[in-house]
Amino acid sequence: MHNPVNQTIFDTSVATQAKVLQPQSFIEVEKVISTQLSKVHPIHSHKHYEIYFLTKGSRQLLFANSLYNVDAPAIVIIPPNKLHATEGGPFERYNVDASEIALDPFQLDIIEDKKLRLLKPTEKQAKMLTELLDEIRQLDPLKKHNNIAFNTLFSYYLYSIGKLAESTENIIEYHSDFVPSLVLNITNYLKVHYRDPITLDSLSKRFSVSKSTLIYNFNKYLHSSPVDYLINIRIQQAKAALRETNCSVVEIAESCGFSNANYFSLMFKRKVGLSPANYRKYQREK
């Protein structure tokens, strides 16, 4: 189950507040520990920046058109209005949510420079960053001058993120700011029902659209066919099962919606570059 640790919220427009009074101006720091093997979250967006810092575990990061496997420690800055979701096994992460109006030019420049990148701090850097966030979370918003301390520590946190340039991979691709409700509804459906025997015909019937409309919209907005999008979801689920369980390849193939183990192994090697068995071996030897 999720075990959220206390949040620290500062209203940057008023000296020190325990509660945000002006939602358009806030910075919120949160730590969450989850012991769940897997949880599917609907794809969503928000009007603020999100600095997602995975400190333990492995997650699948889904953007509107791409899936990425993220291993801790890792940081991804998600800008406003970008469709995304995360799922996977047990994890620990920190989130910093900040409205644009709450950020000063120095802070905003760093966030804009590092957004939509996969940042990979070293273990030493990750430890320093988590200590900074823990110190921020311990600040009492009602105590005099703590808003200044908060802003100073937060600026140093961003400054430290800015120094991760050498270990940065700009791999996050986001091709569209707008995805129609039809595509969103189908992607969320696929994320929940990927185990089911889904075909292009069954999707067309379920959502009352032609197959050509489905293919056109997926190619236009997600740069993928509906079938390939489903296969990517199944592959990501299979990767998590290979890492985190001792289930056989046959069992994993069945649990992830593949018709048989041979087809699963063929698609897995085509997408990942390794057979399921070699992927499991590689992950456990790391």
Residues 209-240 pLDDT 10s: 999 999 998 888 777 899 998 998 899 889 88
Domain ranges of the chain: 2-169, 181-285
pLDDT single digits (tens) 79-127: 998 878 887 778 999 999 999 999 999 999 999 999 988 899 999 999 9
B/e letters for 144-167, b = 16+ CB within 10 Å, e = fewer, are eebbeebbebbeebbeebbebeee
- Give percent of the chain above pLDDT 90: 47
Q: Please give the biggest Cα pair distance in the chain.
A: 65
Query: How many other CB atoms sit within 10 Å of the CB of residue 13?
Result: 15
- DSSP annotation of 115 reads B
Q: Which fold has domain 181-285?
A: Arc Repressor Mutant, subunit A (1.10.10)
Cα separation, 243 vs 99, whole angstroms: 36
Contacts of 129 (CB under 8 A, 6+ apart): 53, 75, 121, 157, 160, 161
Which pTM does this prediction carry? Answer: 0.63
Class of domain 2-169: mainly beta
* Confidence at residue 4, expressed as pLDDT on a 0 to 100 scale: 46
Cα separation, 131 vs 15, whole angstroms: 24
- Intrachain domains 2-169 and 181-285 with the same fold: no
pLDDT single digits (tens) 12-65: 433 233 333 344 688 999 999 887 655 556 677 888 999 999 999 888 787 755
Strand partners, 71: 58
B/e letters for 53-84, b = 16+ CB within 10 Å, e = fewer, are bbbebbbbbbbbbbbbbbebbbbbbbbeebbb
- Decide if 253 contacts 264 (C-beta within 8 A): yes
**Which residue is associated with the tokens 């273990």?**
123
Strand partners, 78: 50
